[in-house]
């Protein structure tokens, strides 16, 4: 029985990469490799080790003093860092802090409108 449990644990760990690859972006924001996908997700780190997803299927991410910008499979996103808060996407304030998904043309216009025209990934 004990041998079976050890063997099962070894097989399970061989099938699943338990080492989640994370990289800090800025403040509470970080990118994590999806354990079953080939993409990254932007998260907001909450207290107690919990995380709130912000944007999935991320290609590129960057930031300025006021904003986090993301290029993802669905389009471009802008998160107002001063308005975002430690909650999940179901929170109305979190939803209002985010713009997107935007197409490239709308994103470029949006960057000019918020005074971040010089931003690039």
The band of 1, judged by pLDDT with boundaries at 50, 70 and 90, is low
- What predicted TM-score, i.e. pTM, was given to this entire model? 0.81
Q: Alpha helix (H) ranges present in the chain?
A: 2-15, 92-96, 104-113
For residue 76, tell me if it sits in a domain. Answer: yes
Give the domain extent around 44: 18-113
**Residue 3: inside a domain:** no
The pLDDT, as a whole number, for residue 38 is: 85
For residue 28, is it within any domain? yes
Instruction: Note whether residue 119 is domain-resident.
Output: no
Q: Hey, what are 109's tokens?
A: 């216009």
* 34 vs 46: CA distance, rounded Å: 18
Q: Which residues, other chains included, contact 13 with Cβ-Cβ below 8 Å and sequence gap of 6+?
A: none
DSSP state at residue 46: P
Q: Please, which pLDDT band fits residue 3 given cuts at 50, 70 and 90?
A: very low
Residue 118 resides in a domain: no
What's the distance, CA 50 to chain centroid? 14
Q: What is the pLDDT of residues 36-72, one digit of tens each?
A: 888 999 999 999 889 999 999 999 999 999 999 999 9
The tally of domains found in the chain comes to 1
Is 6 inside any structural domain?
no
The total of other beta-carbon atoms located within 10 Å of residue 34's CB is 14
């Amino acid at each position: 029985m004990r041998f079976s449990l050890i063997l099962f644990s070894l097989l399970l760990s061989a099938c699943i990469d338990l080492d989640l690859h994370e990289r800090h972006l800025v403040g509470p924001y970080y990118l994590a490799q999806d354990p079953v996908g080939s993409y990254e997700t932007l998260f907001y780190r909450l207290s107690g080790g919990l995380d709130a997803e912000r944007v999935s299927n991320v290609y590129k991410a960057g930031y300025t003093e006021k904003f986090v910008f993301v290029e993802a499979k669905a389009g471009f996103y802008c998160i107002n860092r001063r308005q975002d808060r430690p909650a999940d996407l179901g929170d109305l304030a979190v939803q209002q802090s985010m713009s997107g998904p935007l197409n490239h043309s709308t994103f470029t216009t949006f960057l000019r409108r918020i005074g971040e025209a010089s931003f690039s990934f």
